[in-house]
Each structure stands twice: as structure tokens, then as C-alpha cells.
Amino acid sequence: MALQGKRILLVISGGIAAFKSLDLIRRLREHGASVRCVLTAGGERFVTPLSVSALSEDRVYRDIFSLTDEAEMGHIRLSRDADLILVAPATADILARMAGGLANDLATTVLLATDKPVMAAPAMNVRMWEHAATKANMAALAARGVALIGPVEGEMACGEYGFGRMSEVPDIVAALAGHFGAARLAGRTALVTSGPTHEAIDPVRYIANRSSGKQGHAIAAALAAAGAQTMLVSGPTALCDPAGVTTMRVESAREMLAACKQAMPADIVVCAAAVSDWRVRAVADQKLKKDGGGPPVLEFTENPDILKTLAAAGCGRLVVGFAAETQHIVENARKKRLAKNCDWMLANDVSPGTGTFGGDANTIHLIDAASEESWPAMTKQQVAERLVARIAEFFEDKA
């Protein structure tokens, strides 16, 4: 069992989802892990130190000034004795303090002092999760290597519905088990494409699409976390480069293909980029000006098909493509998989109103030569983790 003998430091912060932490302690211990808990003042409003201590069979840590060995830097020892620190629930407040590097209570002091992996299971109102400040905090934490578990879509304690609900206990346990089984893809190499491409019209204007790169970047990060040596070839995005990943930034489809060829061979190829199908045949040297004669006539030519090119060249032992569709999602993806000659095709609905392009959620249909799987709505990080787990199973079955 991946969690057998692992030492988990669980930080329980103050949200209604704190009640799940009691079951989480129980389940982690059932999987062979030892659990030591830090309970914040807010967390103590929802669960009692006595109940946490009874389930963990260990002392509960609450106040930095109550550490008996603080003269010997007890908070440092507490932060580093664990194999992993898990914040669950992770409220908007504690995530903001983590992002800001604050250390104004025992929980944040431990988190700032640790040199061990940190995972967090966010839990908050959907409006709080979608707020620009929370998004900025999440980006900062992700850039530092903090891994998120969820949140998931569902009904909130406040009666609203949406993303922000804390992941269920079995999913959190599975995420921790996946972390400690991170070497599943050790020794493998992976190439991921991500983001849009920008195809120049003139020195000022270009053709693009609405892709944010969030899904491709999440996949690259998940592959690296699973032990794969990962190269990310990214079109223009506003995202930070994922930790542990070698990133090459490009603009056009032709640049992306050249970078992919340079990165070959790879065991795993995931083409998640939304590559422009066409480009302007002749890019103007100077900015096109309005001259009263009407808009310019642009002549287009096809861009290279990166997925098809890589699949035909046999560049990867497993080649995965994405089919961003607005209608007949699965049917079109089936046809696309055959036309591209790739192993798997991940179809998703990007029609107006879905919020897939630029958003944090995705709904995937995985299609291979023998079967189809329809996954429930998930965050893009959860999609990445599930895909990487399937990739690991593929190679393990081949061994």
C-alpha cells in the first residue's frame, strides 16, 4: 500500500468541511499512515481537539506558544518530521496566507518552515473560489509546487452550487496514495503541447483562439509529478511554467512542430494545444492600414498537423490527442482519432456556455481503439491526474 508507514501532518482549518477531516484521519490510518494534526482556531470551531486526538491517537497541536520544545525550534521539527503536509479543508483564508508567506499562527508557521511536499484540499463558497484574488493565490501556490486536490462541483453548505466543494475523503486518500506512488512513470519521457498558437497577419495582428493552456499545463505538471521527464511546448499563455517541467515557449504552429521534433523521441506524447488550423499565406511586413478601399483580403493556407505528424513518425509509444468540439462530440472525436492515427483521443465540449476554454473545469470522453470512457465534470487538474493514472496503467500493463 502506497501510504503504509507514511507520516502525514494534517492541517485542519476553519470551514464547515472540517467535519470531513475526522473521517479522513480514520481512512488514512486504515491505509497504514500515521496522522499528526494541527488544528487552527477556526478549525476548532467545527471539530474538537478531543475528537481529533482520539482518531489520530496523537497529540493535537493548536498554538505555537504551547509547544513544549519550542526552545529547540519545535515548529521546525513538527514541519519536517512528516513525509507530507496536507491542508484539509483549505479555506480561502489559509490559502491566501500561504500564498502571502504569512506565519501568524502555528499552521502557517509550519507551512512556511517546511521542506516537505504540501497538498491542499480547497473548500469555500463558489464565488470565493472564482474570485480573482483566490485565482492569483492559487497560481502563486501552484508555481511553488503546492498540489491541489479538488475542489469539486457540488452543492455548498450555504445552498449555492458550483466549484468550491471539498473533495470527498476517498478522493483525497487516492490523491495522497498517488503522490507516494509518484514513481509510476519514473524513467519515462513525456512531451506535452499546450495553449493556443498565434499566427501573424502583420507585425501587430494575429489569428488565435480562446485556449488558456490550463489543461495542457496541468497534464505536464501531473506527468512530472508521476516521475516522467517532461518537456512542455507551450503557445502564448499567461500561466507560470509548471514546476519540475522543462518548458519551451513558441508562438506559431510551425514553431511548435519544430520544437516537438527537437524534443523527440518520447515515450508519451500528449497534444493538448489548440493549434490554429490555418495561417495567412503571406504575412505583411508592415501594419496593414485602412485606406478607404475596404478591409484587406487575406489568403489562408493550412498549418502543419502536429498530432498527425508525430503519430505518423512513431515518435511516442503512446500518443494522445485532444478533440475540442462544439457538436457531435464523441462521433467527431472517433473520426479524428482514426484520421490522426493516434492511440487515444480525449474529446471535450468547447461550445459557447460550457466555459471549457479559459475555465477551470472540463468534461472528457476518452476514446481508444477498443472502448470509450465518459468522465464526470472535473477540474482540469483532476482531469490531468486521472489521465496520468491511465497512462501509468497503460505502461504497467505492457510491462
Q: Which of 163, 180, 197 is the last residue of a domain?
A: 180
Amino acid at 34: S
User: Distance of CA 336 to CAs 104, 305, 307, 369, Å?
Assistant: 54, 12, 10, 12
Task: Name the pTM for this structure.
Answer: 0.64
Instruction: Output the CA–CA distances (angstroms, integers) from residue 271 to 194, 234, 340, in the order listed.
Output: 7, 10, 11
Report yes or no on 375 lying in a domain: yes
Full domain range(s) for residue 348:
184-398
Residues of the chain with pLDDT under 50: 70-73
Residue 1 lies in a domain: no
Q: Where are the alpha helices (DSSP H) in 226-296?
A: 253-263
Judgement on whether residues 176 and 189 belong to the same structural domain of the protein:
no
- Per residue in 176-220, pLDDT (tens digit) is 887 887 678 989 999 999 999 999 999 999 999 889 999 999 899
Rounded to whole angstroms, how far apart are CA atoms 200 and 205? 6
157 and 268 together in one domain = no
Say yes or no: 280 and 389 in one domain: yes
250 shares a domain with 140: no
2 falls within a domain:
no
156 and 206 inside one domain: no
| Catalytic residue IDs | 158
How far apart, in whole angstroms, are the C-alpha atoms of residue 229 and residue 252?
A: 25
252 and 111 in a common domain: no
pLDDT score recorded for residue 69: 53
Q: Do 291 and 307 fall within a single domain?
A: yes
The chain-wide mean pLDDT, for the chain, equals: 90
Same domain for 217 and 327? yes
Quote the number of domains for the chain: 2
Alpha carbon distance 176, 179 (integer Å) = 5
In this structure, the answer to whether residues 253 and 356 fall within a common structural domain is yes
257-311: pLDDT as tens digits? 999 999 999 999 999 999 999 999 999 999 999 887 788 899 999 999 999 999 9
Residues 356 and 369 in one domain: yes
Which residues on adjacent β-strands are paired with residue 271?
Answer: 193, 321
Whether residues 154 and 261 share a domain: the answer is no
pLDDT value at position 2?
72
CATH of the domain at 146: 3.40.50.1950
In a domain, 237, yes or no: yes
**Is-contact 239 213, C-beta < 8 A?**
yes
Q: What is the CATH number of the domain that holds 212?
A: 3.40.50.10300
385/399 Cα distance (integer angstroms): 21
Structural domain ending residue among the three candidates 161, 180, 199 = 180
Q: Return d(Cα 271, Cα 263) in angstroms, integer.
A: 13
Q: How far is residue 205's CA from residue 198's CA, in Å, rounded to a whole number?
A: 9
Among 118, 147, 180, residue at a domain's last position: 180
Coil, helix or strand at residue 124: coil
pLDDT, tens only, 129-147: 999 999 999 999 988 989 9
